[in-house]
Amino acid sequence: MGKPPPNTRTDELRAELRSHGLRATTARLAILRALRLAQGPVSHGEMQGLLDEHGWDRTTLYRNLVELAKAGLAVRNDLGDHTWRFEAVRETGDLSAFSHPHFVCGSCGTIACLDGVTLKVERPGPLAKALRERDVQIQVRGTCDSCV
């Protein structure tokens, strides 16, 4: 059995939003919870489908996704198809807080997190400095088992 998603209780989410300088609005609470429960990166349109019962417009959802990313509670990635996808920050204190590798199927477009894959930099230099930046994106492309 997998471990439970971190911080999905309303009081924990509210405290986390406030600690990052954001108001704990109903929309932000729902979006952050949905990101934490998602199995991988979620596009703006997918988020709208997940939260459709709330009736929030696309602009409200997008604005809040961007604010969560700016505050450091989510990351925003383009995985090669010119669609921004958002994902909750899972850990703190290392590179994985901002970026972890993703597998992208070239046939069906499935995107999966590669949580067990790590990147180790053994020498200093321009690469090491780049890896300290928040916008590093690592992708593994291939064909998923369903498409083989």
More confident residue, 112 or 67: 67
Give pLDDT, residue 98: 45
Domain 10-142 belongs to what topology? Arc Repressor Mutant, subunit A (1.10.10)
- Condensed to tens digits (0 to 9), the pLDDT of residues 111-147 reads 887 777 766 656 566 666 655 555 566 778 889 899 9
Residue 40: Cβ-neighbour burial (10 angstroms; 0-12, 13-18, 19+): middle
Q: Compute the distance between CA of residue 13 and CA of residue 49 in angstroms, rounded to an integer.
A: 21
In sequence order, what are the residues at sequence separation of 6 or more whose Cβ sits closer than 8 angstroms to the Cβ of residue 117?
Answer: 100, 101, 140
- Domain residue spans in the chain? 10-142
pLDDT in tens, 4-17: 456 788 999 999 99
Task: Using pLDDT thresholds of 50, 70 and 90, give the confidence band for residue 63.
Answer: very high
Contact in structure between 102 and 112 (CB atoms under 8 Å): yes
